[in-house]
Amino acid sequence: MKKTFNTGNPYIWLSGGTLTISLLMIFGLVALIMFKGLGIFWPHNITMLMLNDNSVVLGEISKVEPIPNLKDSYRTKLKVGNRDVYGMDFRWVDNSSILSQDFPTTALTIERREWGNMYGFLKGMKHDNRIESLSLADMKPLLKESKALYKSIRHIEKKEIGKINHKMEKYRLALKSLERKLPSDSTLKNIASIKVKVEELEKQYTEKVDNLTNLYASAKEKKVVIQLADGSEEILPIFQIIRIYDPNQMGVYAKSSFYVLKFWEFISAEPREANTEGGVFPAIFGTVTMVLIMSLAVTPLGVLTAVFLREYTSDNIFSRIVRISVNNLAGVPSIVFGVFGLGFFIYFIGGGIDKLFYSEALPTPTFGTGGILWASLTLALLTVPVVVVATEEGISSVPKSLKEASYGLGATKFETLWKVVLPQATPGILTGMILAMARAAGEVAPLMITGVVKLAPSLPLDSYSPFIHLERKFMHLGFHIYDVGFQSPNVEAALPMVYTTTLILIFTVLALNLVAIIVRNKLRTKYVTSAL
């Protein structure tokens, strides 16, 4: 027995075993998220169930499970949609009460702009009091029309009215700051000219609003009648329909292309209906932008700290205390950093900036409220230890002989650092950055009090100067997961979105890291040290 232990073989098995367990857990995690998250875009068949109380239920089967303590009995969870009619999206049906099950070919899934999916049969188009029959193929041009209408409405709302509002706000602030000055001829003249411009804008604004009202009115004109499972009829304006399809007649190819389309919508579109429908593009954009700003802030801070610790101080009590403190920063709960960010960055620095540069907008804060810049800086503080440690390691791995070669040629300490040590330490620095990015992309708690919101009206990057709006609030995938899964009005229907969003978060972090890793490996081959 002792002999076997002394060979060391059991330890190989032990370490190999723990590695296997770790790998299995990682794969299990990713597999679970992919399994749960990737399924939601697949168009499921619509089932029609006749129950023994003579009622009919129509919907997608989402789960079948055994009833506890009852042998051979099951219950089915159906997504019945029509939240506006039934009040909830899901319904449990006891399998013993099912008389018959059917997959009617004409059953339709209707994706709506509001109230989630509707399941039913298309009766026809409504003209005053009569119903004109309509096939699914006939719906296509109508839907196209309504999509164009929707686009033009969005364009007016977001772009045109947005532009007017942007200008009006500018004039309002200009007026405010002019009115504060001592009245003189020139200021009065300026005020008058601005007021004329504002009036002009207001006229434009009312025009646009009238335009919008007309568009909305025309949107309500065309309606279809949908027959629900229980035979009742619902009138639905075509404008409300995003997509209408008959999953029971779709083949694998049709379903696959539908799936791709839906997935693309998910990553490229804005969220709808309190984030439970639509896409997550603003959240992806916010996450990536925040991580990039964070890296820009954390790299110089961490690298310079490490350079100082490694190159400019000797090993004394001071440097040891600094090093211990920096390392311990990594263990501070992240919400503490959030509170610090709120108190220092937002209220102190942001408030100061507001007083100095945006005083005319006060008491409405510009920088003195949560925003992407403050969130990024807070996370930069949070991740600074990672960069410091990695950079220190990178610097200490630079061979002494290289430094001596540089000094021997009459280089100063700074020149040696800048031209020999830092380039050589770049892979280490980038490793630190990669770890920092991964940490920052997944952090949610400090963001919640420094600038993340459920729904940001605009991205931190747009076409109004100065194009990058660091003071804006933003959306973040991590927070989005929490919000969709647990704060939305329709938690049950949105739950699959949690997994999908998680998947997107993982892929976003992966993509960011991959870029950094490729850069690092390129540099590593460039700065390969002597084999001798």
Positions in the binding site for other proteins (CB under 8 A): 314, 399, 401-412, 415, 419-420, 424, 526-532
Least separation in angstroms between residue 321's CB and other proteins is 20
Least separation in angstroms between residue 388's CB and other proteins is 22
Interatomic CA distance for residues 56 and 249, integer angstroms: 21
Interatomic CA distance for residues 163 and 462, integer angstroms: 12
Least separation in angstroms between residue 404's CB and other proteins is 6
Least separation in angstroms between residue 435's CB and other proteins is 24
Nearest to other proteins of 319, 513 (CB atom):
319
Interatomic CA distance for residues 136 and 276, integer angstroms: 27
* Omega before residue 466 within 30° of 0, cis: yes
Nearest to other proteins of 248, 424 (CB atom):
424
**Taking the CA atoms of the chain, what radius of gyration do you get in angstroms?**
31
Interatomic CA distance for residues 154 and 146, integer angstroms: 12
Nearest to other proteins of 66, 399 (CB atom):
399
Tokens linked to 212: 């919008």
Nearest to other proteins of 143, 411 (CB atom):
411
Tokens linked to 107: 């059953």
Within 308-421, residue ranges assigned H as helices are: 317-329, 334-340, 351-357, 372-396, 400-408, 413-416
Nearest to other proteins of 209, 405 (CB atom):
405
Least separation in angstroms between residue 459's CB and other proteins is 42
Least separation in angstroms between residue 315's CB and other proteins is 9
Nearest to other proteins of 372, 421 (CB atom):
421
Interatomic CA distance for residues 155 and 168, integer angstroms: 18
How many whole angstroms from its chain centre is CA 255? 26
Nearest to other proteins of 6, 525 (CB atom):
525
Interatomic CA distance for residues 431 and 428, integer angstroms: 5
Is the torsion defined by CA of 209, 213, 214, 215 positive or negative?
positive
Measured in degrees and rounded to the nearest 5, phi and psi for residue 361 equal -85, -15
Interatomic CA distance for residues 236 and 219, integer angstroms: 11
Least separation in angstroms between residue 529's CB and other proteins is 6
Nearest to other proteins of 79, 403 (CB atom):
403
**CA proximity to 247, closest of 47, 112, 83:** 47
**DSSP string covering 134-198, please?**
--HHHHHHHHHHHHHHHHHHHIIIIIIHHHHHHHHHHHHHHHHHHHHSPP-HHHHHHHHHHHHHH
H/E stretch holding 101 reads strand 98-102
Least separation in angstroms between residue 268's CB and other proteins is 43
Nearest to other proteins of 213, 401 (CB atom):
401
Least separation in angstroms between residue 523's CB and other proteins is 10
Nearest to other proteins of 217, 528 (CB atom):
528
Nearest to other proteins of 159, 526 (CB atom):
526
Interatomic CA distance for residues 479 and 442, integer angstroms: 9
Give the residue carrying structure tokens 């998680």: 502
Least separation in angstroms between residue 279's CB and other proteins is 46
Angle at 516 between CA 512 and CA 517, to 5 degrees: 115
Least separation in angstroms between residue 406's CB and other proteins is 7
| Residues near 250 by beta carbon (within 8 Å), at least 6 away in sequence | 43, 258
